[in-house]
Amino acid sequence: MGRKGAKNHLKRLPAPAFWPIHRKEFKWVVRPRSGSHELNRCLPLLLVVRDILQLAKTRKEAKFLLSEGNVAVNGRVRRDDDYPVGLMDVIAFPLLDKAYRVIPAPRRGLILHSITGEEREYKLCQIVNKTCVKGGHLQLNLNDGRNILLNVADPGNPVEDIYETHGTLKLQIPTAEIADYVNLTEGVLAVITGGKNIGRWGEVVEIDEVEGTHSPTITLNGEGDDQYKTIIDYVFPIGKGMPWISMPEDEAS
């Protein structure tokens, strides 16, 4: 009889390469539960608390810390050690007065970047799909599994429809209210979220629409004469003129 439902276990060897774990010290590692992010594009909260920030030595200690409500993800307390945190999520530790954003980094996959001030109050989400629902209203499907419903006063003339696929929303947390929006066009700042140039960011200077079924190619200018090319699915807009989020200085190019 075949398997029913999702897997509940994960061995260390096939785990995502950017996870900060020893591959052969133990056999098993916590598997992120199904939810807002794909397995190979997220970190389970246990690894954040125990292995990256080293706030606990064992899984038992980490689970106790989480059960006390000491960790919030995107403004909401999370108590499950298998909760997945992924791209642009904000992880806060109120007792320590510290917060981190999950961002891509060259050669390291996803990392935690320390943030302060107003940066703690919002997160960025990319629009991966846009659909029309009953009543002529619009639904925006975001990269972290969120769905935002836009009420349209006149379906025949939807003036509220200013959003496009691959654009980025700046959302207040935890309310998820839209504070700002930037479309993926030439002149905006963007970060590469996959491929060999992951973590590189700069200004979008060219969008090459390829004929056929191939994805459009995006060209970004980094610092100096650095230039990067990647497919549109790996490009995440982060502002125009000035980036909405801080980036590590040594990874700006």
Q: What are the C-alpha distances in Å from 17 to residues 23, 109, 172? A: 10, 8, 31
Q: Check: CB of residue 104 under 8 Å from CB of residue 42.
A: no
Predicted pLDDT of residue 1: 55
Specify the pLDDT at position 2: 65
Q: What is the dihedral of CA 141, 177, 38, 197, to 10 degrees?
A: 100
Residue 154 pLDDT: 81
Dihedral sign computed on CA atoms, order 52, 54, 59, 64: negative
State pTM to two decimals: 0.89
pLDDT in tens, the chain (253 residues): 566 767 788 999 999 999 999 998 899 999 999 888 999 999 999 999 999 999 999 999 999 999 999 999 999 999 999 999 999 999 999 999 999 999 999 988 999 999 999 999 999 999 999 998 888 889 999 999 999 998 888 877 787 788 999 999 999 999 999 999 999 999 999 999 999 999 999 999 999 887 767 888 999 998 878 899 999 999 999 999 899 999 886 444 4
Domains in the chain, CATH or no CATH each:
10-115 (3.10.290.10), 121-166 (2.40.50), 189-242 (2.30.30.30)
3-state secondary structure of 40: helix
Look at residues 243, 109, 249 and name the one whose alpha carbon lies nearest to residue 170. 243
At residue 135, the pLDDT reads: 83
